[in-house]
Amino acid sequence: MEVINLEAAKRTAGKTATKAVRREGYVPAVVYGSEEEPMPIKVAELDLRSIIFTDIFHRVSVNVDDKSYECILKDVDFHPVTDRVRHADFQVLHPGQQIKLSIPVHFEGTAIGQKEGGLAQTFVNEITIKALPKDLPSYFVVDISEMKIGDSVMVQDLDREGIEILTPHDQTLVTITVPRAIIELEEADEEALLEGEEGELAEGEEGAEGAEGADEGEDEKTEE
């Protein structure tokens, strides 16, 4: 797993000081852990982008005053209008302590069903887990290349060695479906076929009635 180095500096806590930090182009953040007191820090906003805007889970080495803290990015707060990062929380990892977090899911390959005209419909992009730091994956891989139309992969199908998965095991991750347009076309074809059969049946009944009428007419002439 890749570890990203993040340079940080201590900051003064408080509303006024926090506003000043943001004006300087920094993001107020905090480093905390089960054995550490919360430490207010500030980090450059641009340095956070490679950690936040990614589909791969990273460990982060937060460097403060010549001391490094091995962390994960636990939480991020965005501005409701501008979407700029307003605050970040970094949780310190400890070797013997499990940690709860969400791990991205990557779907790889082209399904057999897709080559036959189907669609790969995904339902979740992250899985919530609990694990020791040494067992944390960068992401889960779901290979869909052998999936046919109608096949599905669920959480219970993931490799869970050393990991406790908290997302419900019956949660569907991906399924290969038939496009709605094809379903509607097949339904239209079936309706047309049924209408054709009903029409043929009606014509047959009318023909039979006509034949019966003709037979009755012949019988009447014979009686006369």
> In CATH, what is the architecture of 100-177?
Beta Complex (2.170)
Phi, psi of 211 (to 5 degrees): -65, -40
Tell me the pTM: 0.74
Q: How far apart are CA 9 and CA 23, in angstroms?
A: 16
pLDDT for 148-202, tens place per residue? Answer: 999 999 999 998 888 999 999 999 999 999 876 555 555 555 665 666 555 555 5
Say which CATH class 3-94 falls into: mainly beta
**Amino acid, res. 146:** E
C-alpha of 143 from chain center:
14
Distance CA 140, CA 217 (A): 82
Amino acid at 66: D
Q: What is the mean pLDDT of each run of 10 residues along the chain (224 residues)?
A: 90 90 92 93 91 90 93 93 92 94 95 92 95 93 95 92 93 89 55 57 55 54 50
Question: Where along the chain do its domains lie?
Answer: 3-94, 100-177
Give whole-number Cα distances, 115 to 88, 149, 155, in Å.
43, 10, 24
